[in-house]
Structure 1
Amino acid sequence: MAARARLLAGDRLPRRRQPRLHLHTHALPAPRRAQDGPRHLAPPGARAPRERPRRPATARQPRRPRLRDDPAARRPAGGGRVKALLENVRPWRHDLGGCLHGCLATLLEHRGVPALPVLGAAWTFRHFPGGVRREEYYYPCADGESLLTALAPHHPVRSVWHEPADAATGWEQVRDAVAAGTPVAVAVDNYHLPFRPAYRDVHSNHLVVVHGYDEERGTVRVLDAVPPAFHGDITLAELTASRDSGNELVHERDMFFTGVHIDNRWLSLELDAAPGDFPALDRAEVARVLALNLAHFAAPPDGDACTGLAGQQAFLEGTVKRLTAGEDIRDELFVAAGAALACTAVHADWLALAGRTLDLPGLVEQARSVERVAHHWSAVRIMAALTRDGGLTPRRLAGRVHALLKDHESALTALDDERAEL
């Protein structure tokens, strides 16, 4: 494991963009029900009907009122449009990012806003004790703060979680948004999606983009940039099942992103400035962003939240102490580390882009330093998973935490030097 972690820390990560895919069939062979081996049998009665698990309240996300629209009031006489397909909806992928960055990047670029200068500018650490949710698209948000604002605080962007009353209303809302020319991201359960490897095997929530539909054929156009990647049609019934899923925790392979009802939620993006008014990636912008990030890490923690460099140290060292005491740290550390990993890795690409664009080789060099910190977070995430079988000792985790904090401080010092030269 130590050798693997060292390899992680040494890897270089080029930013990749997936080519636009046009798949008219499912990306995977015809599905078949998986058979659990004897080590993965669910306990007796595990698949019996049960009360749906309640999703933790998402008070940190502003949302629209849960009012059901009158479909007849929105449709023109004659039944309205039964099909729509939005163009210029392209996949965006970062190997150390996830479905959240990928979907938001696709939505931004459809609106004419380059994704990396917005999503990669901020480098932060925030952790709210008790606020981690078992969702692949989790990102730490303060009360009243939108998901996209938390991820891209240096730019005039917001997002809104929509929480429809039921599956029918949820589809009406998504269909009407697409018909109006706006692609959206929808929360789904991979268990019900034929193009995901987890299909009919394990439950896991996920985020995909919807940008077309044909109600006569009963199909929906879906974009998922996360490998194995899919861009094509699935049936409306399949999408509805994945959006209305209870996301049940059935057996021991349902880990990390399970046990939270999907709730037919969908995410829309809001711009508070015209695309042409977003700041250009010039020296002044780089100096502004670096100053904001450095100030964030230098500031003391905010209340009970773990923020900045001091908060990051407190969270990681506290996790080591909890592991030493025999506490279960797996899910919280895995999910929280995933958010920090994605933020750090995408910021490293932002630094590299800024350095190449402005002919600043020092920034390109520091991009590699920040990328190294991202690989430390990747190793921490792997270690979190190892706690399941007792394969991680507190000493090993403490060693990785020490290396991460040391390299993080070194990167901040070097970035401050680069800022002073701008």
Structure 2
Amino acid sequence: MIETAPKVQLWTRDLGSCLHGTLATVLLHDGHDPVTVLGASWEFRRRAGAWTTEEYYYLAEPDSLAKRLALHHPFESTWHRSEAPGDGLGELRDALAAGVLPIAAVDNFHLPFRPAFHDVHAAHLLVVYRITDTDVYVSDAQPPAFQGPIPVADFLRSWDSANPAHDADVFFSSSPSDRRWLHARMRGDVPETSRDWLAQVIRDNVARYRAASPAGVETGVEGLRRYLDELCALEPGTEAADAALSELYVISWNIQAQSGLHAEFLREQGLRWRIPELAEAAARVDAVAHGWTGVRMTGAHSRVWQRHRFDELRGHSAELIRRLEVALEQLDRTADAVSRQA
């Protein structure tokens, strides 16, 4: 017996991770534009100690990952752990038969098409779109992109991997796959992307960035500034500094990806409505996205090579905050311009 799903689409962006890529594949499969759904929201959120060593980490309450990424759409997701007897593929087969594309948590070490195959353990996501008696068909847009069959045995090793700590990847090992899979779907009416809606989206995002951080969570400009100041004040070479630099690299990947996708969203809306302020806002938000590169890479290199350069990190952090404040000012003007034409 063969379970199939309609042909799926590979989707990725240079700044993105497997999180946005797999969710985008699901959205395209269900007839939705991933740039609009995943790109409308823009925020910074961090809770100390609440991160996991996975490429797809993003701060969200349990079973609210898709909702957190898509604040302006009724997009939802639920994590499952397969308890099916035998090889555990029964739940994935049932999902496919129901028209659902499961997103599986896997370990790159056991995937024949990944450069890390039999070399590096690292937590990753991919989409399952077909299962036969001998093969599992997977879609993975992260370079080098792959779509096609892998032996059932390889998939199961990856899907059930302990993903042990690995010196070659201090950021994304130590997180078991545990036969987990994510069910993402749109639940409710999708809003019409009118100019009124667009202006409100921009204002909501700006308000969230400018609001004070709630208890226990660092958010917005205030939270980001405080987080970066605390990071740069750490004593180089200590265990605390190593842990903080690891956290920085992990949590900032999908924050950076979200910034890049929001810039693309604004750029597309600018082309659609022919409002110049949207193009300017897109450029300013894009500058923020690329401002994260200096922060992330300085932290990563410091962590891996044990040459802590908090002076350089401080400079990149200051530039990131400057770009963010410029972007928010432009977004204020942009929301007004969109409203005038609504």
Match of 1:135 in 2: 54
Match of 1:192 in 2: 110
Q: Which amino acid aligns with 2:80?
A: H
1:299 to 211, 219, 230: 211
In 1, Cα distance between equivalents of 2:257 and 2:183: 21
Query: How much does 1:389 deviate?
Result: 1.8
In 1, Cα distance between equivalents of 2:208 and 2:3: 44
Matched, 1:287 2:203: no
In 1, Cα distance between equivalents of 2:219 and 2:35: 23
In 1, Cα distance between equivalents of 2:315 and 2:24: 35
Matched, 1:151 2:69: yes
Match of 1:314 in 2: 226
In 2, Cα distance between equivalents of 1:394 and 1:409: 22
Query: How much does 1:168 deviate?
Result: 3.5
In 2, Cα distance between equivalents of 1:169 and 1:129: 37
In 2, Cα distance between equivalents of 1:404 and 1:167: 50
Higher helix share goes to which structure?
Answer: 2
The Cα offsets for residues 85-122 of structure 1, whole Å up to 9 and x where unpaired, read as: 21241111111011000000110111111111010000
Match of 2:182 in 1: 267
SS in 2 for 1:176: helix
Match of 2:45 in 1: 126
Query: How much does 1:284 deviate?
Result: 1.0
Query: How much does 1:421 deviate?
Result: 1.7
* Aligned positions of 1:94-109 closer than 5 A: 94-109=13-28
Match of 2:265 in 1: 350
- Contact 1:167/1:264 (8 A) holds in 2: no
SS in 1 for 2:88: helix
In 2, Cα distance between equivalents of 1:295 and 1:87: 40
TM norm structure 1: 0.77
Identity %: 38
Report the RMSD for the aligned CA atoms in angstroms. Answer: 1.5
Runs of 4+ in 1 over 3 A off after TM superposition: 165-170, 323-326
Matched, 1:229 2:148: no
Query: How much does 1:170 deviate?
Result: 3.5
- Contact 2:108/2:122 (8 A) holds in 1: yes
Match of 1:360 in 2: 275
In 2, Cα distance between equivalents of 1:167 and 1:264: 12
Q: Which amino acid aligns with 1:297?
A: Y
Match of 1:339 in 2: 254
SS in 2 for 1:322: coil
- Contact 2:63/2:79 (8 A) holds in 1: no
In 2, Cα distance between equivalents of 1:167 and 1:321: 51
Matched, 1:219 2:135: yes
- Contact 1:85/1:221 (8 A) holds in 2: no
Query: How much does 1:379 deviate?
Result: 1.7
TM norm structure 2: 0.94
Matched, 1:115 2:34: yes
Distance 1:323 1:124, change over 3 A: farther
Higher mean C-alpha deviation, range 167-176 or range 202-211: 167-176
Q: Which amino acid aligns with 1:376?
A: G
1:414 to 300, 306, 330: 330
Mark the structure with the bigger radius of gyration. Answer: 1
Unaligned 5+ segments in structure 2 are none
Q: How many residues align?
A: 334
Query: How much does 1:330 deviate?
Result: 2.2
Query: How much does 1:390 deviate?
Result: 3.1
Unaligned 5+ segments in structure 1 are 1-81
Matched, 1:375 2:305: no
- Contact 2:301/2:307 (8 A) holds in 1: yes
Query: How much does 1:370 deviate?
Result: 0.8
